[in-house]
Amino acid sequence: MTFSFCGACERLLPDDAFDEEQRRRRQSIRRCQDCIAAGNELVLMKRGTARDEEDFCSVCQLPLPIAMEESMLQPCCMKRVCNGCILSAKKCGILKNGCPFCRTPIAIAKERELLAMVTERVAVLDPVAVCFLGYHHVRGGYGLVKDPKKVIEFCQKAADMGDKNAHYILGDAYRKKWEKCSTEVCSDRDLSFQHYEKAAMEGHIFARFTLGVLECKEGHRDLALQHFLISAKMGHKLSMDNVKILLTGSIATEAICAEALQEYEAAVEDMTSTSREEAKQMGAENIRSFII
Ligand SMILES: [Zn+2]
Ligand SMILES: [Zn+2]
Ligand SMILES: [Zn+2]
């Protein structure tokens, strides 16, 4: 007799505890018949439903804007600061003296010098810095060249240290390999899902959204809805739009959609501040030019 893992009750059960459709699924989205009958949720959908402390601006302590260009990772301390705080620091002269968080002099630094600062953080095994190095090998940048092997090498190291963003980048990296793969059973597909799921269970919004898109493509629209609801409630617009699309496809209900919209709007409100709005009007490139 063979055994399979249930993604809801986390028990290892004989295959006949699952119906045929569930048996074909990967373990993270497979539920035993008992769990289906009891309506037990998958662990994948129970974890990572709120933003963690890394997702807050180190200066104003508000949840960071979701668009990556609306905040900047500081090369000195590897803390993410929102553009609103960078603009405020520029206005009151703090940027002249250094980073708005740790005050290390970084203003008008050259990309090469910024990379040297990051390398110092890598030397002390800061997972965010290790992930930064991995990420900038995706397309090149900061004097680094494009190198898919190094993306995986650095991001795996950062992921092993618990960096959720590194899991997300690995999910993307293995997805690229999987999309090129011609065989039906592709180990890169499994790795891609595993990394996206680890990131999503740590509250990574883009990983959660990506899982929704992938599940939709695989025909699991009920699972897609569960993913989109989680990221929509954290303030992600595209996820909210997809919940509305699934409403017209009769997968979501009016009540589920209305509740999600309410939480989505509250999350967006929590991410809004006067200085962030002003920085947005100025454009991310202009804010970036204060530092580089
Ligand atoms: Zn179960
Ligand atoms: Zn801030
Ligand atoms: Zn700093």
**Which ligand approaches the C-alpha of residue 86 most closely?**
2
Q: What are phi and psi of 80, to 5 degrees?
A: -90, 130
Measure the CA–CA gap between 165 and 180, rounded to whole angstroms.
23
User: What is the reported pLDDT for 14?
Assistant: 96
User: What is the reported pLDDT for 87?
Assistant: 94
Q: How far apart are the first and last CA of the chain?
A: 62
Alpha carbon of 226 to ligand 2 centroid (Å)? 30
**Which ligand approaches the C-alpha of residue 40 most closely?**
1
Q: Are 148 and 137 in contact (CB under 8 A)?
A: yes
Measure the CA–CA gap between 161 and 102, rounded to whole angstroms.
23
User: What is the reported pLDDT for 183?
Assistant: 78
Measure the CA–CA gap between 188 and 18, rounded to whole angstroms.
26
Distance of CA 182 to the CA centre of its chain: 28
Task: From first to last of the 292 residues of the chain, give the pLDDT tens digit.
Answer: 889 999 999 999 999 999 999 999 999 999 999 999 999 999 999 999 999 989 999 999 999 999 999 999 998 899 999 999 999 999 988 877 788 999 888 755 677 788 888 999 999 999 999 999 999 999 888 888 999 999 999 999 999 999 999 999 999 999 998 888 877 777 899 999 999 999 999 999 999 999 999 999 999 999 999 999 999 999 999 999 999 999 887 888 999 999 999 999 999 999 999 999 999 999 999 998 887 6
Alpha carbon of 31 to ligand 1 centroid (Å)? 5
Q: Are 236 and 209 in contact (CB under 8 A)?
A: yes
ipTM of the complex: 0.94
Q: What residues does each domain of the chain span?
A: 1-46, 47-288
User: What is the reported pLDDT for 10?
Assistant: 96
Whole-Å CA distances, 24 to 29, 154, 186, 211, 213:
10, 33, 15, 18, 20
User: What is the reported pLDDT for 13?
Assistant: 97
User: What is the reported pLDDT for 292?
Assistant: 66
Give alpha helix (H) positions in 162-218. Answer: 164-180, 187-201, 205-217
Q: What are phi and psi of 31, to 5 degrees?
A: -125, 140
User: What is the reported pLDDT for 174?
Assistant: 95
Whole-Å CA distances, 279 to 85, 159, 205, 272, 290:
9, 32, 23, 11, 12
Q: Which residues pair with 80 in a beta bridge?
A: 73
User: What is the reported pLDDT for 94?
Assistant: 81
**Which ligand approaches the C-alpha of residue 89 most closely?**
2
Return the SS3 of 13.
strand
Q: For the domain covering 47-288, report its CATH number.
A: 1.25.40.10
Alpha carbon of 193 to ligand 2 centroid (Å)? 32
Q: Which residues pair with 72 in a beta bridge?
A: 81
CB proximity list for 252: less than 8 A, separation 6 or greater: 225, 229, 243, 244, 246
User: What is the reported pLDDT for 143?
Assistant: 83
Q: What are phi and psi of 130, to 5 degrees?
A: -65, -40
**Which ligand approaches the C-alpha of residue 31 most closely?**
1
